[in-house]
Amino acid sequence: MPEFSGHLSLSATSRADGRTVLAGQSFRAPFHVSKPYWDADAQALLVQVVNPTAGILAGDRLESAIAVGRGAALVVTTPSASRVFKMKAGRAESAQSLAVAAGGWLEVIPEPLVPHRGSRYRQVTRISVEPGGGLFFADVLMPGRVAHGEAWEWESLCLETEVRQGGDLLLRERFEHTGPDLKNLAGFAGSGVGACFANAVLITAQDGADAGWREAVAALHGDGLWLGVSPLRQAGWSIKLVATDGLRLRRGLRETRQILARCFPRLACDARKL
C-alpha cells in the first residue's frame, strides 16, 4: 500500500460582523475538510476533518497546523474514529500544532483513536495559547476492536502533549505503553477489558475558579466512570477520564462539556451537528 504524507492547515479569523471564517486552508490525503458550519448559538465555526482512506497505515506521516486569530472561534472534530492498522514494519507518525491568539477560541474534539493489533503509532501535539485566548483539547483512546477480540493488541503507542501559554510551559505529558502493559493497568484499576480513556486540557481567558464547575464535573465520577480534574501550573486544567466502555466514555465527556459550557459558552457548540 502507498504511504501517505498528509498535510492539513487551517487558519481561522474573525470578520467585521463577528463571524468566524477560514481565512486559509490546505490539505492533502488522507486529510479532507468538509464544508464549515456556523453555530450561531455558540458563536463558533464547526469544521469536520475527514479521512477518506481506510485509516492510518505503516509509513504514514501526518502533519496538521491549526491557527485561530483574535476574536475567532473554531471547533474541529472528525465524523468517525481514526483507525491505526496492523504494520509488518515501521510505524505511523502524526504531528499536530495548535495556536490560539489572545481573544480567540479553539476546540479540538475528534472521535476516538483505535489502534489495531500489531500497530505502532506516535502522535506529538504542540499547543500554544496566548494570554487571553482559550482552548479545549481532547484525546480519546479505545483499546482496539473489542468485538473482534483485538483489545490491547497494539505493539506500541506514544501520545505526547505539550501546552504553553505566552511561551511558558504549562503541561508536558508522554503516554507510552504497549497494549498488554496498558491492559494490565486497566485491570488493576478495575475498569475492564473494554476500558476507554480521554485526556482533556482546558485553557480559558476567564478564571472560572469560583463557578463551581469543578465540583460538578468531579460529581460525575462513578457508575463506570473514573474522572479527575487538576489545575495546571499557571492557567487552565487537566481533565482525565477512564470508562468501562466507549459508550460510557462518550457520555462522560459529553456531560463534562455540558457542565463546562455553563461557564465557558463556546463549549455549547454541538460537535456532532454535522
Q: Where are the domains of the chain?
A: 5-268
3-state secondary structure the chain: CCCCEEEEEEEEEECCCCCEEEEEEEEECCCEECCCEEECCCCEEEEEEECCCCCECCCCEEEEEEEECCCCEEEEECCCCEEECCCCCCCEEEEEEEEECCCCEEEECCCCEEECCCCEEEEEEEEEECCCCEEEEEEEECCCCHHHCCCCCCCEEEEEEEEEECCEEEEEEEEEECHHHHHHHHHHHCCCCCCEEEEEEEECCCCCCCCCHHHHHHCCCCCCEEEEEEECCCCCEEEEEEECCHHHHHHHHHHHHHHHHCCCHHHHCCCCCC
Tell me, what's the pLDDT at 33?
93
Query: pTM for this one?
Result: 0.93
Tell me, what's the pLDDT at 212?
83
Mean per-residue pLDDT of the chain: 91
Strand 196-203 relative to strand 134-141: parallel, antiparallel, unpaired?
antiparallel
Regions of the chain with pLDDT less than 50: 274
Tell me, what's the pLDDT at 208?
53
